[in-house]
Structure 1
Amino acid sequence: MTRSVLYPLRSTDTATVTYSMHPHGRRRVTIDHQPLAGVTPAMLLDWFSNLGGTIAYGGEVIDMYLAWHPIDHIKWELARSAPTGGAAEGARFHMVEAFGARPEYLVDEIARVEKLDETGIRLVLRVAGVIVFQLEHTWSAGVEGAHYVTVMDLGPRAAVLAPVNRVLRRRFSDEKARAWVKHNIEEVGQLEYLLPQLEPSGETEPAQRAKGCDRAPYREHRQAEPVN
């Protein structure tokens, strides 16, 4: 299903991207994003803790995950609740998306949430107890808005598993990695528009919003409307 995109998608040149290779053929991609104006760490924690919710978007109510990237995101569900309940540390997220809406770049994975707090979220995929994929988003408060960094690690660390890394690099090719980078920069940029309109969590209003940001905060239910 094609959905309208209410807000401008960030271009790849708005972030600093680093591709690196590590021992035994592991790959790492680091994305240092342009600050998210009007966004605080508490707002980001709330977003990821309630990712299964819905939001008013373009005149209809849709899943928050679909509003997060209207083109690439297909499905999100809580495959398993955290020991404390809901989407918290120990939960398992089932995510389906296609980078650039291209079928050959489809991802359908269940990852364990090994960290989720006001400093970030870490998602890990293990096979036979061995970490083969890790995606970590870290954030902190900044003068211009939230400082947000994404790091993806692909491949196990053990030398004996180097052949596995070769297989993973073929399955997650350089082209697919670049498509994922574009996707990630776009989805993170959308948070700058979506989060300031959600229900206030009670924290001090960010200075950059108080200085005249025209995004009206949400009052009665989660909503997202175009910014003039």
Structure 2
Amino acid sequence: MALPLVVPLRTPDTATVRYEEHPHGRRRVTIDHAPLEGVTPDQVLDWFGSLGATMDYDGGVVSRYLAWHPLDHVRWELARPAPGGGAAEGARFRIVERFAGRPEYAIDVVERVEKLDRTGIRLVQRIGGAVVTQLEHTWSAGRGRTHYVSVLDLGARGPLSAPVNRVLRRRFPDPMVRAWVRHNVEEVGRLELLLPMLAGAPARA
């Protein structure tokens, strides 16, 4: 049973979204989100470093990951800790989600955290050492708010990558990309609710 939303989700028209086509079938989607009011970059960094923790939510104690998007998130786990331990640079995250809550838009992936600091996070999948998907979130401080941008790259670079990119297009067709955009706008917007709730509260293992 899904958790209650507590507040309505943001809609895609609250963000500026750009779709780009690149050589050899590679695609890029950029989402410039509406500012996160009352949120700091350090709070966002702590959020990504503590996804395995729980939090008080709607009168109970729940997984932070499920509270983040009660409709689409299924499971998060630390598939491999960072070299220094925990969810930091060098870790591997297992992410299970269903965009728009639809089984045909489900993903179950393990991604390497190639960057995680107070400026952003970069999650990467590689095949034979080549980057085939990359999701990078960057954030920066404003006056009492945080500016947040998400960039999704689908496909590897170079002429020899075209066959791999064709497979990715079949696995991630345009309707699924649009469903991911809505999902990303919704989950980023949720941080405006969840992070102030956590302010001053210790992380629960």
The equivalent of 1:148 in structure 2 is 148
The equivalent of 1:206 in structure 2 is none
The equivalent of 1:101 in structure 2 is 101
The equivalent of 2:134 in structure 1 is 134
Taking a change above 3 Å as real, the CA distance of residues 144 and 13 of structure 1, as seen in their structure-2 partners, is farther
User: 2:50–2:203: 8 Å Cα contact kept in structure 1?
Assistant: no
Q: Given the two structures, how large is their TM-score scaled by the length of structure 1?
A: 0.87
Cα RMSD for the two superposed structures: 1.2
Larger Rg computed on CA atoms: 1
User: 1:35–1:144: 8 Å Cα contact kept in structure 2?
Assistant: no
2:191 matched to 1:191? Answer: yes
The equivalent of 2:89 in structure 1 is 89
User: 2:40–2:144: 8 Å Cα contact kept in structure 1?
Assistant: no
User: 2:39–2:144: 8 Å Cα contact kept in structure 1?
Assistant: no
The equivalent of 2:61 in structure 1 is 61
The equivalent of 1:77 in structure 2 is 77
Displacement, 1:199? 3.5
User: 1:133–1:152: 8 Å Cα contact kept in structure 2?
Assistant: yes
The equivalent of 1:162 in structure 2 is 162
Secondary structure, aligned partner of 1:96: strand
Displacement, 1:143? 2.4
**Distance between the aligned counterparts of 1:7 and 1:122, measured in 2?**
28
| Runs of 4+ displaced beyond 4 Å | none
The equivalent of 1:14 in structure 2 is 14
Q: Deviations over 1:101-138 (max 9, x none)?
A: 10000010000000000000000001121111000000
Percent identity, please: 64
For these two proteins, the number of residue pairs brought into alignment is 204
User: 1:78–1:91: 8 Å Cα contact kept in structure 2?
Assistant: yes
**2:166 is aligned with what amino acid?**
R
Secondary structure, aligned partner of 2:113: strand
Displacement, 1:144? 5.3
**Distance between the aligned counterparts of 1:103 and 1:58, measured in 2?**
27
**Distance between the aligned counterparts of 1:5 and 1:138, measured in 2?**
25
Displacement, 1:222? 5.5
Displacement, 1:145? 0.9
User: 1:56–1:222: 8 Å Cα contact kept in structure 2?
Assistant: no
Quick check: 158-167 or 148-157, which moved more? 158-167
The equivalent of 1:171 in structure 2 is 171
Secondary structure, aligned partner of 1:51: coil
**2:107 is aligned with what amino acid?**
V
Q: Which consecutive residues of structure 1, in runs of 5 or more, have no partner in the other structure?
A: 201-217, 224-228
**2:196 is aligned with what amino acid?**
P
Q: Given the two structures, how large is their TM-score scaled by the length of structure 2?
A: 0.96
User: 1:119–1:140: 8 Å Cα contact kept in structure 2?
Assistant: yes
**Distance between the aligned counterparts of 2:126 and 2:97, measured in 1?**
20
